[in-house]
Structure 1
Amino acid sequence: MTPRKLKAACEELARRDIALERAYRVVRVPEWRKGDATYAVLAKMIAYQQITTKAATTIWGRVEDFLGEVTPEAVLACDQEALRACGLSRPKLAHLNSIAEAVVSGALNLERVAAAEIDSARAEMLAVRGIGPWTADLFLLYAARNMDAFPAGDVGLMEAHKRLGGYTTRMTNKEFSDWAERWRPYRGVAAHLLWGWLNAERAKTGQPPA
């Protein structure tokens, strides 16, 4: 990915969808959300799911303080009840362990995933217990910088598209996923345009970014 390719993708998407054209007018070329292709990044995504950003930040800070460095080996070797006492639910702790086991065994190779074609990368991630479609797509979007990775079930994206497109109701997950097919191979760029627009709207009222 280069700034030139990103700009070209934004312009192409603006031609394909009026909602993205309106987002592009506001956002221009969006800043790409980045992370490293590491276990720590994937574990953080798990920890942040289904709770507020404020609560997740507090919990993850405790996890980092407890482990020192978040690695699969550290998670598997630590006192599990002490790790859960950081604020992790039992299901999330189980997921962190199952993912750690897959990384240590080689069943999940995150460097290979980051370099692979999106469908094979996604399949390798989804084969691991604890990694669902949203987590896999988000990892591929951030850590692999894949321009076509797309977390279709993201409520913020669906809401932004509804408002920008002037629709009265928000699409279902399936409808939104089907709609996003027209954005290939730049669905990840579309996600960044929608997030960028949504955050610009939230900033107007002093709300934190999505």
Structure 2
Amino acid sequence: MPLPPTPEDLAHARSVLASADPALARVDRQTPPLEWRLRVGGFEGLFRMIVEQQVSVASAAAVWARLRDGMGGISPEALLRHDLDQLRGMGLSRQKATYGQGIARAQLAGEIDLEHMATLDDEGAIAALTALKGVGLWTAEAYLMMCEGRLDVFPGGDVALQEAIRWADNAEVRPDQKQAYARAEAWRPYRAVATHLLWAWYTGVKRGEIALEPVAS
């Protein structure tokens, strides 16, 4: 099982980012120490991300609990023992059930090995994940960050992240996905740490815990 970055790892990465980028230096000064909690990975972790797409946190948690209880646990074999109507009865949409079963078949057929993704580099892992129907680029990048603790994955399509970049750069217009990826090149090899840092800062500002101060001209 992958291990999350240690507090020392994160402190070092933040120091490197702050030294490399004045905008991130300001974000770093305003943001408390990060805690990087890894989610469950493997088939269960990826399937849960599919379940959580485009629904509220509460709704996703409720559906996940019904699936876990109804199937007697989450595994490729358990998912494939239930047809689409049964899965819909547990609260899963037909589309998500179809995606989940496709991923389960791919795992069992050896087309992807979600339990040993660490054998692939970041680009290879993203390519393998996005080859699965229902797994887009953001889901693949988020999975590798949140379930495997990879330090240089960057979900450039994330709207909250894009807005945090806009604030950090004191820009008038939020960067699009292509622009966000280009902006993040300066943050290698710690783009995932920069992402967590910007997310934490963004959340702090939204909650009123951090003041969004204008950048001095």
Common fold: TM-score over 0.5: yes
Runs ≥4 residues deviating over 6 A: none
Q: Which amino acid in the other structure matches residue 66 of structure 1?
A: G
Instruction: Please name the residue that 1:208 is paired with.
Output: none
Task: Determine the C-alpha separation between the residues in 1 that align with 2:119 and 2:67.
Answer: 28
Structure 1 residue 128 and structure 2 residue 132: aligned? yes
Given candidates 185, 189, 196, the residue that maps to 1:192 is 196
Is the radius of gyration larger for structure 1 or structure 2? 2
Q: Relative to structure 1, is the Cα distance of residues 101 and 178 closer, same or farther in structure 2, using a 3 angstrom cutoff?
A: same
Q: CA deviation at 1:57?
A: 2.1
Q: 1:98 aligns with which of 71, 89, 102?
A: 102
Partners of 2:119 and 2:29 in 1: CA distance: 32
Identity %: 38
2:9 alignment partner, one of 5, 15, 20: 5
Q: Does 1:73 align with 2:77?
A: yes
Name the structure 2 match of 1:109.
113
- 1:86 is aligned to 90
Which of 176, 180, 183 is matched with 2:184 structurally? 180
Is 1:143 aligned to residue 147 of structure 2? yes
CA distance in 1, matches of 2:32, 2:119: 28
Normalization by structure 2: what TM-score? 0.87
Letter in 2 for 1:75: L
Task: Give, in angstroms, the shift of residue 13 of structure 1.
Answer: 1.0
User: In structure 1, how many angstroms separate the alpha carbons of the residues matched to 2:22 and 2:71?
Assistant: 47
1:166 to 164, 170, 178: 170
The residue aligned with 1:152 is 156
The AA in structure 2 aligned to 1:91 is Q
In the alignment, the residues of structure 2 paired with residue 33 and residue 192 of structure 1 have an alpha-carbon distance, to the nearest angstrom, of 11
Q: Could you tell which deviates more after superposition, 180-189 or 52-61?
A: 52-61
Aligned-residue RMSD, C-alpha: 1.7
Offset at 1:7? Answer: 1.1
Q: Normalising by structure 1, what TM-score?
A: 0.90
Q: Partner of 2:28: helix, strand, or coil?
A: helix
Deviation at 1:204, TM superposition (A): 2.9
Deviation at 1:26, TM superposition (A): 2.2
Structure 2 CA distance for partners of 1:6 and 1:115, relative to 1, 3 Å: farther
Q: CA deviation at 1:16?
A: 2.4
Paired position in structure 2 for 1:30 = 34
**AA paired with 1:173?**
Q
